[in-house]
Amino acid sequence: MFDPGSRYATLEILTRKGPDGREIRYVSRRFLPGAAQGTVVREHVVTEGERLDHLSARYLGDPELFWQLADVNNALRADELTEETGRRLIVALLPGVPS
């Protein structure tokens, strides 16, 4: 259902019946892993104009893995990680995620 690199790829697809009897499929809850569950590769200091997709391409080999950087840095909004020049970001490989 999801691309193998998606943050949802390993989640269970659940089913329930709606009030009208229709089957409703949904993805089980996803818990953020945090840096402690991954292998820290390095720290990165944000510079002017950097984007998270560029950083994930550089360090993780895929721009679509930007969500890993958001997860390990506990960001609710991924774009907030590059708003502040000088911010230190943890770059980590998460278990079970293809890189």
Same domain, 6 and 36: no
pLDDT digits (tens, 9 = 90+) for 13-59: 999 999 999 999 998 887 766 556 677 889 999 999 999 999 999 99
Give a yes or no: residue 41 inside a domain.
yes
**Alpha-carbon distance 67 to 48, whole Å?**
20
Give a yes or no: residue 98 inside a domain.
no
CATH code for the domain in which residue 48 is found: 3.10.350
Same domain, 36 and 25: no
Total tally of structural domains belonging to the chain: 2
**Alpha-carbon distance 25 to 63, whole Å?**
28
CB atoms within 10 A of CB 31: 9
| Contact (CB, 8 A) for 23 and 73 | no
Q: Give me the residues paired with residue 44 across strands.
A: 89
Query: What is the rounded average pLDDT for all residues in the chain?
Result: 86
> Strand, coil or helix: what is 2?
coil
- Domain, as residue range, for 12: 1-30
Same domain, 26 and 38: no
Residue 58 pLDDT: 95
Residue 39: which of 6, 65, 72, 84 has the closest Cα?
Answer: 72
